Chain A
Amino acid sequence: MKGEASHTTRASIAGPNADRVIPLVVDHVAKSYDVDDRVVPVIGDLSLTLDNGQIVSIVGPSGCGKTTLLNTLCGLLAPDAGRISWYGQAITGQPQNVGYMLQKDLLLPWRTAHRNVMLGLEIRGIAANEAHDRSRAMLDRLGLHGFADHYPSTLSGGMRQRVALARTLVNEPAVLLLDEPFASLDFQNKLLIESDTAKLVREGGRSLLLITHDIEEAVSLADRVIVLSKRPTQVKAIYDIELGIERTDMMAARDSRDFSKYVRQIWADLDVVLQ
């Protein structure tokens, strides 16, 4: 069943109208958990779209079900109500051609950086030679030349997260879903890896859905920022970010005229109460 669904998805991506099909449409999705015989609603009623080549950030107060949302989008959880369609198709199981990355790098400690990057290609049965070369090239692009044969335990946090990014990007996903991927990094590393991500996503014409609690990260990276409410989660506000600059330079984004205006507005929307 899963194979069949993925087949149709792939066909639609490769089809001639691929550019006109919206990669991701979330339509009135709801999700709740059962905790000790009580139903706890997490996502109330959520709709959003991710267009081709678009970067959308989702920010929300802590515990607003961002991770639940991501797992639902990935097909790891089934929504209670509503529809999620990838490239115009509602699918069961995991969507194809979607890359997924979390705050935890989830590198396999027994594989070198290079072999970690190869993981997805290996799973998909890409010929070893090609997988080998593509992984090395991706590591080089992310500034990890010379670290390919290192085990994760010998790499710094920033480098490990770069390896994780390479592992995601080497599969050439049309859509990336990132869940606070840079949250554990220091400021310099965060800015550098954000810039690289923006560059690789925009150059490749990929779409990116970024879930974060970092308002500055959301504004500096995204074309659109969606602010979520507290649980049960709904969309509270949508901002189309226009900074009027090249959108791959995270420092320039912070220097631009309207940057702090967006940050302030989103901060106000989040309605953070000091206790």
Chain B
Amino acid sequence: MTADAESGMSRATDLAERKLVPAAVRRRQRLRSVAIVLATQAALLALLLGFWDYMTANNKQAAFMFGSPSAIAGFLYQMIKDGSLWRDSYVTGLETLLGFLVGNLIGTIIGLSLWYSRFVSRVVEPFVIALGSIPIIALAPIIIIWFGTGLISKVAMSTLSVVIVALVTSYKGAVGVDTDQINLMRTLGASKFQIFRKLVVPASLIDIFAGLKLTVGFALIGAIVGEFMSSSEGLGHAIFKAGSLYIIPKVFAALVATIVLALLLTSVVGRIERLLMPWRRIH
């Protein structure tokens, strides 16, 4: 409590002091603090990789069990050279993107439209919770029977991993809209559809985007689990195959590609978020 008050006070004085500093200097200060964070992160990563490389350099058994950064880099280079890195990343990326889009579209539409009827949402609630508690991996064998071993089954896995989360977050956003705000719309003469379109949907965007960021990872997991079950290409396929052959550095190499893919997709979502919600940028 007192600590809170103190930090509040120091923040207030910070602000007052900063007002006197010209914009260029402030921008430089901000850039410097970003640079310090990045440098620390790079140093941590380098330290970790260095320790890893050192521990496995003179120990064949450890190198076999844990791989080594240099071996991983070697595999990455080889995968780039034979083109499998691009092909696998493309396949997994496409599956993830499609599952992400379809799952979020369906989930968000259902979640938002549940706002329309309290009755329907109360009827549906236990079913949603039940569906949400099913581990998606348990569905994989059925999905493969239904949709085959190609692209569609992975997209289906990815969609299923996403759809409930998207539904719940968008519904939460829709029902969280301030009652006074809805009353205001009603006194302005708004119909239920106008309230939905002009208030509920934009007000839910914050929650929808929180869901989008969360579901990038889920979509990727769905696609990779699908590839684990049965596939002929993709990063999940590469990881599974290398793992079965005990080529651990290659598993890590494919994992690195997976991480890069996840970061890429997340940053795209973040960019779209800033584009769609310009009012959130200003503070």
Q: Which residues of A contact B (CB under 8 A)?
A: 6, 71, 74, 76, 94, 96, 98-100, 102, 104, 106, 108-111, 119-120, 122-124, 151-154, 171
Contact = CB atoms under 8 A, between A and B. Distances in A.
Contact of B282 (A102, A154, A171): A154
A94 B187 contact: yes
A74 B183 contact: yes
Contact of A108 (B186, B202, B278): B202
B266 to A, nearest CB: 23
B125 interface: no
Contact of A153 (B186, B203, B205, B279): B279
Contact of B198 (A6, A99, A122, A154): A122
Contact of B186 (A6, A94, A151): A94
Contacts of A109: 279
B279 A120 contact: no
28 contacts: A6-B189, A71-B183, A74-B183, A76-B183, A94-B186, A94-B187, A94-B189, A102-B180, A102-B184, A106-B178, A106-B181, A106-B184, A110-B205, A110-B277, A110-B279, A111-B279, A120-B189, A122-B198, A123-B185, A123-B189, A123-B190, A123-B198, A124-B188, A124-B189, A151-B282, A152-B279, A153-B283, A154-B282
Contact of A123 (B178, B194, B282, B283): B194
Interface string B201-222: 0110100000000000000000
Interface residues of B, number: 22
B199 interface: yes
Contacts, number: 56
B256 to A, nearest CB: 39
Interface of B: 178, 180-181, 183-190, 194, 198-199, 202-203, 205, 277-279, 282-283
Contacts of B178: 106
B188 A171 contact: yes
Nearest to B195: A123
Given A71-B183, A123-B194, 6 more contacts: A6-B189, A98-B187, A104-B180, A106-B181, A108-B181, A120-B189
Contacts of B199: 108
B73 to A, nearest CB: 46
A20 B98 CA distance: 65
Which of B185, B188, B199, B202: most chain A Cβ within 10 A?
Answer: B188
A100 B181 contact: no
Contacts of A120: 188-189
A41 to B, nearest CB: 22
A117 B272 CA distance: 27
B140 to A, nearest CB: 40
Contacts of B279: 109-111, 151-153
A33 B181 CA distance: 22
Contacts of B185: 123
A99 B186 CA distance: 11
A104 B202 CA distance: 19
A171 B178 CA distance: 22
Which of A120, A152, A171: most chain B Cβ within 10 A?
Answer: A120
Contacts of B180: 102, 104, 106
B188 A119 contact: yes
Which of B178, B190, B199: most chain A Cβ within 10 A?
Answer: B190
A153 B282 contact: yes
Which of A71, A108, A111, A154: most chain B Cβ within 10 A?
Answer: A108
A123 B205 CA distance: 21
A23 to B, nearest CB: 15
Contacts of A71: 183
A111 B278 CA distance: 10
Contacts of B278: 151
Pairs A-B, 5 closest by C-beta atoms: A100-B187, A120-B188, A151-B279, A123-B190, A110-B202
B190 to A, nearest CB: 5
A171 B278 CA distance: 27
Which of B189, B194, B203, B277: most chain A Cβ within 10 A?
Answer: B189
Contacts of A122: 198
Contacts of A110: 202, 205, 277, 279
Contacts of B282: 151, 153-154
A107 B272 CA distance: 24
Contacts of B184: 100, 102, 106
Contacts of B183: 71, 74, 76, 100
Contacts of B188: 119-120, 123-124, 171
Contacts of A74: 183, 187
A124 B224 CA distance: 51
Nearest to A151: B279
Contacts of A76: 183, 186-187
A96 B189 contact: yes
B226 to A, nearest CB: 37
Which of B180, B187, B279: most chain A Cβ within 10 A?
Answer: B187
B198 A119 contact: yes
